[in-house]
Amino acid sequence: MIGTMKIIVTGGAGFIGSHVVHALLNGGHEVTVLDDFNDFYDPAIKRANVTSFTTRGAKVEVSEIDLREWEPVKDLFARVKPDAVIHLAARAGVRPSILDPKLYIDTNITGTFHVLEAARLSGCSKVLFASSSSVYGLSRTVPFREDLPLLQTLSPYAATKLAGEQLCGNYVNLHGMRIVALRFFTVYGPGQRPDLAIHSFTDAIENGRSIRQFGDGTTRRDYTYIDDIVQGVMGALSFVEGEGPLFEIFNLGENETTTLAQLIAAIEKALGKKAVIERLPEQKGDMPLTASDITKARTLLGYAPGTPIREGIPKFVAWYRELHAGRVG
């Protein structure tokens, strides 16, 4: 068990971030959320996430700051003087990063530098960095292990995440900070962003709209339920509080893969409705396969994912229908 801490959570109003904030508050920690509430998807969703924890009387502060702006980030860290930082904020998504790579580089690389430098200047030496399975690119070794050589990423998004890991390594080497990078594998669950596949497919099938399937349905993903990701993040927080290596990288996945066709079938079954599928060519930048080797996380973080896709999809659909109860169309 770790003692209570002051923790800054960047991106704390988002999908993963809001779940992490709830877990931290349940653990008695004092949390400061840094989020810019951008319009990548409806900001009202993020504001509702924030309301869910600001109304519970817990020790939480919310600061609306863009990570690309150095002075506000530096000033917040100087004032809060956090014991640890959980850096989840990023521009996410492979396809949008291809359309606007500069935005991704400015937010995910420069923004991560700002977080690391502000942490250093404030005296905070403990950082968790949210990376991505996308860094593995076209790796031929399956499942993916953290020590695989990473020779080529496939999208600007993936490149920014790998660059973020490298910046973390720099700060460990140069400044003695203790940093863990967590490679998330396709996270889903209650609260998932509406633009992501499981949520958008569910919404379309439920409301009789067609869904877009890129490729022939054989691409495979290691879908990871949000509760399992949060468990891994909390394990990593305990890890950086310990006496182990200063820099580690961990996969956080479910340790099983599901094809796109199987995913659509699982959503159809949970909804009790058939999908109308619009078949499109494969998209550049998409990985044909993600598969996590989680041996290291099991061993060092006590990570034990407990929600396979066959259980997670019905849970997500139940949440979705509760959220939209009474909605017409």
The number of distinct structural domains making up the chain is: 1
Whether 321 maps to a domain, the answer reads no
> Average pLDDT in the 305-323 region?
97
The answer for residues whose C-beta is within 8 angstroms of residue 150's C-beta and 6 or more apart is: 135, 136, 137, 139, 162
pLDDT for position 168? 98
pLDDT band at 54 (very low <50, low <70, confident <90, very high): confident
Record the pTM: 0.96
Pair 127, 240: CB distance under 8 Å: yes
Measure the CA–CA gap between 29 and 17, rounded to whole angstroms.
15
Pair 8, 75: CB distance under 8 Å: no
pLDDT band at 284 (very low <50, low <70, confident <90, very high): confident
* Structure token digits, residue 171: 């700060």
pLDDT band at 328 (very low <50, low <70, confident <90, very high): very low
Above pLDDT 90, what percent of the chain? 89
Beta-bridged to residue 132, according to DSSP, are 184
Predicted confidence (pLDDT) per residue in 218-246, tens digit: 999 999 999 999 999 999 999 999 888 99
pLDDT for position 325? 87
Handedness of CA 49, 55, 57, 62 (dihedral sign): positive
Whether 197 maps to a domain, the answer reads no
Pair 177, 120: CB distance under 8 Å: yes
pLDDT band at 326 (very low <50, low <70, confident <90, very high): low
Whether 202 maps to a domain, the answer reads no
Measure the CA–CA gap between 72 and 35, rounded to whole angstroms.
12
Catalytic residue among 104, 136, 157, 225: 157
Whether 90 maps to a domain, the answer reads yes
State the residue range of the domain holding 162: 6-188+225-253
Stretch (H or E) spanning 33: strand 30-35
Q: Is the pLDDT of residue 153 over 90?
A: yes
pLDDT band at 1 (very low <50, low <70, confident <90, very high): low
> Average pLDDT in the 99-126 region?
98
Beta strands in 70-163 (DSSP E): 84-87, 126-132
Measure the CA–CA gap between 220 and 292, rounded to whole angstroms.
12
pLDDT for position 12? 97
Print the SS3 string covering 154-217: CCHHHHHHHHHHHHHHHHHHHHCCEEEEEEECCEECCCCCCCCHHHHHHHHHHCCCEEEEECCC
pLDDT-wise least confident of 20-24, 310-314, 325-329: 325-329
Measure the CA–CA gap between 255 and 293, rounded to whole angstroms.
6
Q: In Å, how far are 27, 102, 162, 303 from 237, measured between CA atoms?
A: 12, 31, 21, 12
Q: What is the DSSP letter of 66?
A: -
Whether 121 maps to a domain, the answer reads yes
Spacing of C-alpha 211 from chain mean position: 24
pLDDT for position 244? 82
* 157 a catalytic residue: yes
> Average pLDDT in the 125-135 region?
98
* Structure token digits, residue 226: 């949000």
Measure the CA–CA gap between 168 and 181, rounded to whole angstroms.
8
> Average pLDDT in the 155-183 region?
98
Whether 193 maps to a domain, the answer reads no
Q: Please name which of 126, 121, 123, 93 lies closest in space to residue 108, comparing C-alpha atoms.
A: 93
DSSP code string of 239-270: HHTSSS-SEEEEEE--S--EEHHHHHHHHHHH
> Average pLDDT in the 26-51 region?
95
Q: Is the pLDDT of residue 58 over 80?
A: no
Q: What is the CATH number of the domain that holds 73?
A: 3.40.50.720
pLDDT for position 48? 93
